[in-house]
């Protein structure tokens, strides 16, 4: 296992202080089409997304001071927050990464946005990059 | 202009302290196939790249303490360094961004790796994300 596990860049998550300003910036300067803001209560964020080729850029503004993205902004300021890669079989991927000794935040898949199965690799385990794995297809499956 | 300027994610640049260890990590844990290390004298880095779908991950280790990537590592530690988007016409894109008041590092295209025409948007001008624009095609053109 492990061969060619990463199928594509699903999305990049950017942490921003002001979602409206960031969305306007990408709309006006780059001709992107950010989606209507959507609150993700469980993560304590409001997001707006736009497509770039086969991937998505996800702008994220915290909605409460104890959300992970708020803490990230306090510590690091605005900027890149995480990358998400598509994998075909998430459980198999996590088993393999566990065997390899990779430090995981989620040892089992959990439900992310749109009901997709996702899991995070700890940035300590991935040379400083917070890395999300998203299972192919299965939008709202289960 | 500006409509749909960003065609795809060309690559993500990750700053690492130890290129060999990072390449081994992506090879062994994710089944990626990082290229042989290549020195980019002008940038003061040695890089190794691997494909993910339609994009590339570029691992970058500094070769001298005054290179921009070395300074980045001192300041921020290992992790995401920049994102590169493909654009069709770089000169037109830069003119448009200038008109929009976006803060640019390069006001004119310069030659990047493989002879491609590239330019950087300042992270101050892009919500904290160092953003490279790479012109389509034209590998080693001109």
Helices H / strands E in chain B, number of each = 3, 8
Given this model, what pLDDT does residue A140 score?
40
ipTM computed for the complex: 0.92
Banded pLDDT at A2 (limits 50, 70, 90) = very low
Residues B92-114 have a mean pLDDT of 93
Query: How big is chain A by its Cα radius of gyration, in Å?
Result: 15
Put simply, whether A79 touches B (Cβ < 8 Å) is yes
Given this model, what pLDDT does residue A142 score?
32
Query: pLDDT tens digits, residue range A10-31?
Result: 999 999 999 999 999 999 999 9
Minimum distance, in Å, between the CA of residue A8 and any CA atom of chain B: 4
- Contact (Cβ atoms closer than 8 angstroms) between residue B121 and residue B109: no
Minimum distance, in Å, between the CA of residue A129 and any CA atom of chain B: 5
Q: Of B48, B90, B127, which to mutate for an interface test with A (greatest number of A Cβ within 10 Å)?
A: B127
Nearest CA in chain A to B18: A127
Put simply, whether A64 touches B (Cβ < 8 Å) is no
- Rounded Cα gap, residues A56 and B51, in angstroms: 17
Banded pLDDT at B2 (limits 50, 70, 90) = very low
Minimum distance, in Å, between the CA of residue B69 and any CA atom of chain A: 14
Chain mean pLDDT for chain A: 92
Query: Of the candidates B1, B32, B83, which has its C-beta nearest A6's C-beta?
Result: B32
- Rounded Cα gap, residues B29 and A33, in angstroms: 35
Q: Which residues pair with A15 in a beta bridge?
A: A60, A79
In b/e form, how buried is each residue of B19-41, taking b as 16+ CB within 10 angstroms? beebbebbeebbbbebeeeeeee
Given this model, what pLDDT does residue A138 score?
56
Closest CA to B107 of B118, A97, A99: B118
Q: Which residues pair with A118 in a beta bridge?
A: A110, A134
Beta carbons of A52 and B128 less than 8 Å apart: no
In chain B, which residues have their Cβ closer than 8 Å to the Cβ of A126?
A: 25
Q: Which residue has the higher pLDDT, A1 or A72?
A: A72
Beta carbons of B127 and A55 less than 8 Å apart: no
Beta carbons of B8 and A102 less than 8 Å apart: no
Least trusted range by pLDDT, from A20-34, A39-53, A128-142, B109-123: A128-142
Closest CA to B133 of A13, A52, A18, A83: A52
Query: How big is chain B by its Cα radius of gyration, in Å?
Result: 15
Domains defined for chain B, CATH in brackets: 8-135 (3.10.180.10)
Alpha-carbon distances, residue B101 vs A22, A26, A59, B97, B135 (angstroms): 14, 13, 21, 6, 21
Put simply, whether B28 touches A (Cβ < 8 Å) is yes
Given this model, what pLDDT does residue B138 score?
56
Minimum distance, in Å, between the CA of residue A99 and any CA atom of chain B: 9
Residues A34-42 have a mean pLDDT of 93
Put simply, whether A2 touches B (Cβ < 8 Å) is yes
Query: pLDDT tens digits, residue range A105-141?
Result: 999 999 887 788 999 999 998 999 999 999 998 544 3
Residue for token pair 């075909």: A88
Query: Of the candidates B2, B12, B59, which has its C-beta nearest A83's C-beta?
Result: B12
Q: Which residue has the higher pLDDT, A112 or A85?
A: A85
């Amino acid at each position: 296992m492990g061969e060619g596990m990463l199928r594509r860049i699903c999305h990049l998550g950017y942490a921003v202080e002001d979602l409206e300003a960031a969305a306007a910036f990408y709309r006006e300067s780059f001709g992107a089409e950010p989606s209507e803001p959507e609150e993700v209560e469980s993560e304590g964020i409001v997001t707006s997304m736009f497509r770039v080729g086969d991937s998505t850029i996800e702008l994220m503004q915290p909605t409460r001071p104890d959300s992970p993205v708020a803490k990230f902004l306090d510590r690091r300021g605005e900027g890149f927050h995480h990358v998400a890669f598509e994998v075909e079989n998430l459980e198999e991927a996590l088993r393999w990464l566990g065997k390899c000794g990779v430090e995981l935040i989620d040892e089992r898949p959990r439900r992310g946005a749109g009901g997709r199965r996702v899991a995070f690799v700890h940035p300590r385990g991935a040379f400083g990059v917070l890395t999300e794995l998203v299972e192919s297809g299965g939008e709202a499956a289960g």
